[in-house]
Amino acid sequence: MRIGIGYDVHKLVDGRRLIIGGETIPYEKGLLGHSDADVLTHAIMDAILGAASLGDIGKLFPDNDSTYKDISSIELLEIVRTKVEEKGYKIGNIDSTIIAQKPKMAPYIPLMVKNISNALNIEESDINIKATTEEGLGFTGEGLGISAQAICLLT
């Protein structure tokens, strides 16, 4: 068994769609990034890659490579799954947390679980997604950005 942890953060800006867990969430701002800036999926990918000792998403999908410009992070997650399977690992479970003052994530979590489950080809029951605010504190609490944390068990 191997365990990996992932963390990601992106700035909220005007003129971008807000995509988290592969789900487009209606909101006045979106996350700034080279890809779709899906913080949750990025944190999950880093947790998986870390558990498999495959580096991180910056190494695998560099932001100076136009191939990945505006790409769906769910597509990148499928690539990560393939790389981990090629090393002989199986994803046991994932636990994750989205940290955002706004918008409320709860209505979208079941869809996020489904998207991630499909991309990783694992059961929905092997994925846990939570959401919390920062009670108005820090950059997420002030609505300047959104972050996510994830941990993954590989067998």
- CATH number for 76: 3.30.1330.50
Q: Residue 68: what pLDDT?
A: 84
The region, left, alpha or beta by phi > 0 then psi within -120 to 50, assigned to residue 126 is: alpha
Overall number of domains in the chain: 1
pTM of the full predicted structure? 0.96
Q: Is the peptide bond before 103 cis (omega within 30 degrees of 0)?
A: yes
Q: Looking at the DSSP assignment, which residues form a beta bridge with residue 129?
A: 96
Q: Is 146 annotated as a binding residue?
A: no
Structure tokens at 29: 């701002």
Query: Whose CA is closest to 7, among 46, 52, 59?
Result: 46
- Domain span at residue 54? 2-154
Q: Is 39 annotated as a binding residue?
A: no
| Region 50-67 average pLDDT | 92
Q: Is 135 annotated as a binding residue?
A: yes
Please name the residue ranges forming H helices in the chain.
39-51, 57-60, 73-86, 109-120, 138-141
Per-residue pLDDT of 59-98, as tens digits, reads: 999 888 888 888 999 999 999 999 999 999 999 999 999 9
Share of the chain above pLDDT 90, in %: 92
Q: Residue 63: what pLDDT?
A: 86
Q: Is 56 annotated as a binding residue?
A: yes
Q: Is 142 annotated as a binding residue?
A: no
